[in-house]
């Protein structure tokens, strides 16, 4: 770029990163703490999962996964996430939209309540559903008369999962919406666009990475949820066992290898989630950055400062 000025802080070039470069010792200690913490608490368990899973060889590993009870748990987990994530997506978009675009009575309370599932123990969430829909609960007897079974059945598991995971998408989408403001939506309004047109053509493209991110995290949590689901499930093998519950049962029966084999599925899911999350962040960043070099005012190119090297 013509007319650019580059300069160097400190002159000698000895310090690569200027201002914040503390002494070498401090740097080594800090990095050491961070890395060893990660290795000990995250890396090692992850390796243990996979090593234990194949400790009796690959055939045993696949046998554990092919077990009918495991397959049923996989199906239930997929089903639960398949219901919970889309519902939370709809709720998340609606809630984020109304909180960021409208002023209404009780907005503050709503915003606070959204965080409730994050702040309460999942076991308590599960118990609440038992109290509401259980046999002796508020709606239990009425539901029983109608022949609807919620607690110790699939609907309860889905409800508990939705409850535990609903803040995730709202939080992500709301943050993106609030950061971007409503100016473009207002501009679209003055240009005659209807509410739906604005959502589809202006808002959605702006928030799509936030939505994706929320969906990925929500899905991971929905598939991995243990506490709340455990309370409402009843642990009926082949019927109300999700993957985490199934692992717990296998572990309780001292069938460690099978437990870890199934656990490896969840661990894989976690790795895939991280990969997707990374990809979404990378895509969002790439899209927000201009593809061609940004034009400076054509008549006057101000001297640019290329950061200290």
Q: How far is the CB of 183 from other proteins (least distance, A)?
A: 4
Give the C-alpha separation, 195 to 101, whole Å.
Answer: 12
Give the C-alpha separation, 132 to 141, whole Å.
Answer: 10
Q: How far is the CB of 190 from other proteins (least distance, A)?
A: 4
CA distances from 215 to 161, 167, 276, 293 (A): 14, 11, 11, 33
Give the C-alpha separation, 174 to 16, whole Å.
Answer: 39
Piece in contact with other proteins (CB under 8 A), picked from 107-115, 137-145, 191-199, 211-219: 191-199
Window 36-55: residues binding other proteins (CB under 8 A): none
Nearer to other proteins, 287 or 309 (CB): 287
User: What 3-state class would DSSP assign to 55?
Assistant: coil
Please select the residue that binds other proteins; options are 107, 201, 237, 278, rule is CB under 8 A.
201
Window 285-304: residues binding other proteins (CB under 8 A): 287, 290-298, 300
Give the C-alpha separation, 90 to 210, whole Å.
Answer: 14
189 binds other proteins (CB under 8 A): yes
Nearer to other proteins, 67 or 184 (CB): 184
205 binds other proteins (CB under 8 A): yes
106 binds other proteins (CB under 8 A): no
Q: Sign of the C-alpha dihedral, residues 79, 81, 85, 87? A: positive
User: What 3-state class would DSSP assign to 302?
Assistant: coil
Q: How far is the CB of 202 from other proteins (least distance, A)?
A: 6
CA atoms within 13 A on the CB side of 185: 19
The count of chain residues that interact with other proteins, using the rule CB under 8 A, is 27
Give the C-alpha separation, 220 to 136, whole Å.
Answer: 33
Nearer to other proteins, 108 or 147 (CB): 108
Q: How far is the CB of 201 from other proteins (least distance, A)?
A: 8
Nearer to other proteins, 22 or 103 (CB): 103
Q: Does residue 256 contact residue 52 with C-beta atoms inside 8 Å?
A: yes
Distance, first Cα to last Cα, the chain: 17
192 binds other proteins (CB under 8 A): yes
Per-residue contact flags (x/-) with other proteins for residues 263 to 282, judged by CB under 8 A:
--------------------
Piece in contact with other proteins (CB under 8 A), picked from 125-133, 187-195, 236-244, 255-263: 187-195
Give the C-alpha separation, 240 to 246, whole Å.
Answer: 9
239 binds other proteins (CB under 8 A): no
Q: Does residue 227 contact residue 126 with C-beta atoms inside 8 Å?
A: yes
188 binds other proteins (CB under 8 A): yes
Cβ-Cβ contacts under 8 Å for 41 (sequence gap 6 or more): none
Q: How far is the CB of 280 from other proteins (least distance, A)?
A: 16
Q: What are the tokens at 21?
A: 């470069």
108 binds other proteins (CB under 8 A): no
Binding site residues, other proteins, CB under 8 A? 183-184, 186-194, 197, 201-202, 205-206, 287, 290-298, 300
């Amino acid at each position: 770029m013509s007319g650019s000025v580059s300069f160097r802080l400190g002159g000698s070039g000895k310090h690569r990163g200027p201002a914040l470069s503390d002494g070498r010792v401090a740097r080594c200690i800090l990095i050491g703490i961070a890395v060893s913490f990660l290795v000990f608490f995250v890396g090692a368990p992850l390796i243990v999962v996979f090593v234990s899973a194949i400790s009796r060889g690959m055939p045993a590993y696949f046998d554990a996964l092919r077990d009918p009870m495991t397959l049923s748990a996989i199906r239930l987990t997929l089903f639960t996430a398949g219901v919970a994530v889309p519902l939370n997506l709809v709720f998340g978009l609606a809630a984020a939209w109304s909180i960021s675009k409208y002023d209404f009575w009780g907005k503050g309370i709503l915003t606070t309540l959204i965080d409730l599932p994050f702040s309460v123990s999942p076991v308590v969430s599960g118990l609440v559903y038992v109290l509401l829909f259980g046999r002796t609960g508020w709606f239990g007897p009425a539901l029983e008369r109608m022949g609807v079974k919620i607690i110790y059945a699939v609907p309860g598991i889905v409800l508990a999962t939705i409850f535990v995971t609903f803040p995730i998408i709202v939080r992500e989408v709301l943050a993106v919406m609030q950061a971007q403001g409503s100016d473009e939506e207002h501009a679209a309004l003055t240009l005659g666009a209807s509410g739906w047109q604005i959502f589809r053509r202006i808002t959605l493209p702006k928030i799509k990475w936030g939505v994706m991110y929320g969906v990925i995290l929500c899905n991971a949590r929905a598939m991995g949820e243990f506490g709340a689901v455990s309370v409402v499930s009843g642990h009926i093998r082949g019927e109300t066992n999700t993957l985490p519950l199934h692992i717990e049962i296998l572990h309780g029966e001292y069938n460690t290898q099978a437990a870890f084999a199934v656990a490896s599925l969840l661990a894989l899911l976690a790795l895939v989630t991280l990969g997707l999350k990374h990809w979404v962040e990378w895509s969002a960043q790439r899209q927000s950055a201009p593809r061609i070099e940004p034009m400076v005012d054509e008549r006057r190119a101000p001297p640019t400062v290329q950061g200290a090297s």
